[in-house]
Amino acid sequence: MLDKVLTHLNFEPFIQYEPTMDENNKINGIVVKNVNLIGMTETIFEYVDPKNNLNKPMIKQQFDFLDEEQKKLLVKEMMITRYCIHRILTHFKIYKPWHHTNDTIYLSKDIRDKKMTKENQIDAKKVTSPNSQDHFLIWNYHLDQDYYGEEVSRITLNANVARKLSTSLMNLQHKNSTERIEQVLKLEYNYVLPSIKGKKWSIKVVSKGDLYFSNKKHYEKCVEELNLEENHNYSESVLELKYPRGIVAQIEEHKYKVIDGYHRLAGSGSEKPPLVIYYDRTQVF
């Protein structure tokens, strides 16, 4: 089961954090500063779509034997799968910690094993934010002990979070691109627009000036939110995003209506044209 895999994967390389210490100079928590969702997506992709894991020499060799057209089609499928994984991680807010105290974020509380005979376990009970909203802890941290003290050796997903992610990620398996896109849209909005059901999707780079945001007020709100200091890390991650930034419908030769992805497209910057997932609606008119 994927949830068991997710609870054992070490995501520490993708997390910028600082440990917190108690009065005895023992680690009693971690303060997460930033989460590299792209790194997490690449790792999880290998388990969601193992047949297309190009890090495996045999699979890479088979890919190299394909002609250019076959490679383009396969790359499109893999890119859309990565987009869907990234959207699922974003939906469950893995990109940001949940428990805020002042300007720092405390995620987990260490329950120490006095005999130190096994890895420290994490308290899975709920924590309460200053806004009185209960959230499950996202991360578990594991400690190693040596002659000079202790250090964080691994950071893994809390079992409850891993279970939620696993359900959505496993649903991506054995689906085509159309079904995968509809799945993440339904996850985000609870339904799929009738006008985009069953569409054949492609990916392309478009000019930001060719994007049409039908809800101007929502677009302006997204821009304002991206400029807030509290969203700085998210804004930076949006700029660095190498997957498609949104889903659009081509309604004219150089005009694309944004269906999903206002924040990611608003924060794409001006230097590099955004990559999008699209279907051509011009043939309808």
pLDDT digits (tens, 9 = 90+) for 164-208: 999 999 999 989 999 999 999 999 999 999 999 999 999 999 999
Domain boundaries, the chain: 1-174, 193-284
Average per-residue pLDDT in the chain? 82
More confident residue, 128 or 282: 282
Q: Which pLDDT value is given to residue 97? A: 58
- Please check the confidence at residue 259 and state whether its pLDDT lies above 90: yes
pLDDT tens per residue, range 84-110: 999 999 999 887 754 433 333 344 443
Closest CA to 185 of 80, 76, 88, 75: 88
Alpha-carbon span 123 to 111, nearest angstrom = 6
pTM of the model: 0.83
Alpha-carbon span 113 to 90, nearest angstrom = 33
- Please check the confidence at residue 70 and state whether its pLDDT lies above 50: yes
Residue 65 pLDDT grade (very low, low, confident, very high; cuts 50, 70, 90):
very high
Instruction: Summarize the confidence of residues 224-252 as an average pLDDT.
Output: 83
Q: Which pLDDT value is given to residue 283? A: 64
Q: Which pLDDT value is given to residue 102? A: 31
